Structure formats: C-alpha cells, structure tokens
Amino acid sequence: MNLKLTKSFIHTSTTKYIIFFDFDETYFPHDCTDELLRNLNELEDYLQFLVLDQSIKIVWVTGSDLSQIAHKMKRANMSYSPHVIASNLGTELYNVSEKGELLLNEDWEHRLKNVYFSSRAVKELENELSHVYNIKLVEQTQFGQKGYKWNYYYFEESKTKSQYDLKIIRHLAKLNELGMNISKCNPKAGDPENAYDIDFIPLNMGKKEIVEFMIRYYQVSLSNTIAFGDSGNDLEMLKTVQHGYLLENATEEAKRFHDQITDSHYSLGILEVLNKLFPHSK
C-alpha cells in the first residue's frame, strides 16, 4: 500500500490485551474543537504508555477507507497510528509498521479470496427493491464503491414504513447470500438526517468477525479484550469482547440496545474506562 500514515504506537514482542476502537465519532471527533483535540492528544499519550506497560495492541475497526482515515488523522494532527486498521467495515485489514507503513494482513486476504461477493448481485438487489417493493436506496458515491463493500443511504419516510422496508432489505440480502450492515446515520459524522446506512459486504465479514479474527491472531484471552463505539454498527463488536462500551456521545438508537455507556464523551469517556481497567497504570 503506497499510502503512509504517522508512526504507530510502540510494537511490543508479546500481546496481552487488545483494544478495539470504532474511528468516526469514537476515536476521531468530527467537530475537532480545541478541547476535543486536547483530550485526544491526552488519550494518545496514555495509550502509548499503556501499550508498553500492559503489552497492548490498538486496532481501529471502521467503515471509512484508508484515504478518509489519513485525511482525518491529518486534520486532528494525530501523533500515532494504531497497530492494525480494519477499514471498509473489515473488508480490508492492514498491519501498521512502527514507521507508519501499511501492510496487508495476508491471513485475512486469503480468507477474503475464498468468500463470495458479487457487485452484480448487489445491483440486482437494488433494482428489485426499487421496482418490486418501491424501496429506494441512494448510492453513496462521494467516495466511490469498494470491491467488497457497497454502501447506500435509505431515507426514512415514517417509522412504520422504515421497519417494514428494512426487514425486506435484510431478507433479500440473505436470499442473495450477501452480508450487510444497517445502522441509523449519525449527522455528527457528516451523514444526512433521518437516514440509515445500508452496507453490503460478504457473508461472515464485518466488525464482529474482525474482532474474533484478531483475538485468534494475537492469541489473547477474551477476558483481556476491550472495545469502544458510538453507533448501531458497533454493537456486535462491543458484545464480542469482554469489556464493550458505547461512549456518552453515541446515537440514541445504539443506546437503546447496549447498557454499558460511559459517563463522558469521546476521549474522556475512553480514558474514564481505561483508568478503571488499569488502575495502577498511571
């Protein structure tokens, strides 16, 4: 991968813990106010210390692609990259060297090459939804579609109709052997109001599967796994680890389905949890 990021957190020879972060509106605050960026800088410094003190690996699991991530890191003037980036909802997995070089995870790439995913099947499903069920999906073309991830917006007209429509979308995706993610859009992250993200990916791919893979990859005990998120598409990831938290700034939709919620928002919420889990690492 030609794109290069900032240097990563220190690489330790062993791994005792893994911390998984959603990126947008969890690790990276879109408002980028001076206060939020000061808090993010404090979090980065603490994570660098924790990585060495507790043999931790840092993993970002995000729907964003690498170019978006790099742009946001520059905007926030971040000091460190994580050890691993799972981008495009985990359909791409990169190890990050201490110099910030991106290296494809070959084990994950091998797994991807053996899964079924057809962009033609996605387009046929989109047409069927439109012409048979009068369900309109709006392609998210601002960043282009990716090989293993096609993303759309579904705009809500009413609660009743959206519940019915989303059930049909899920049913047709299953019939077409497509994996998918549906979550309420977060306008704070630049998404439109009253809309849902609809992402089509291969079956058995996504944030949950990335977490399970990384736990095996680093041979870490489940009891030593931690995750943070802010929206509906993070819930399975949070339920897969031992310590899964929504931040205080999470969407109301997500908060209805998960009871581990921090008292503080963004980096302060993350620091709040980590200080409790590692009370002697200060």
What's the distance, Cα to Cα, between the start and end of the chain in Å? Answer: 36
pLDDT tens column, 35-57: 999 999 999 999 999 999 999 99
pLDDT digits (tens, 9 = 90+) for 5-25: 999 999 999 999 999 999 999
Contact 233, 254 (CB under 8 A): no
pLDDT digits (tens, 9 = 90+) for 214-269: 999 999 999 999 999 999 999 999 999 999 999 999 999 899 999 999 999 999 99
Mean pLDDT value across residues 155-178: 94
Write out the two tokens for 165.
């429509």
Reading the block at residue 62, the tokens are 């995000």
| CATH dotted code for 17-113+205-277 | 3.40.50.1000
Where on the phi/psi map is residue 234: left (φ > 0), alpha (ψ -120 to 50), or beta? alpha
DSSP for 74-120, written as a single string = HHTT-S-B-SEEEEGGGTEEEEE-TT-BEEE-HHHHHHHHTS---HH
Instruction: Report the pLDDT value the prediction gives residue 195, as an integer from 0 to 100.
Output: 93
Please say if 22 is a catalytic residue. yes
Taking phi over 0 as left and psi of -120 to 50 as alpha, with beta for the rest, 279 belongs to alpha
Question: Per the residue annotation, which of 22, 24, 197, 199 is the catalytic one?
Answer: 22
CA distances from 182 to 33, 196, 206, 217, 248 (A): 29, 7, 12, 27, 21
Domain boundaries, the chain: 17-113+205-277, 119-201
CATH 3.40.190.10 for the 119-201 domain, yes or no: no
Q: Which helix (H) or strand (E) holds 167?
A: helix 159-175
Q: Is the model's pLDDT at 144 over the cut of 80?
A: no
Average pLDDT over residues 71-82: 96
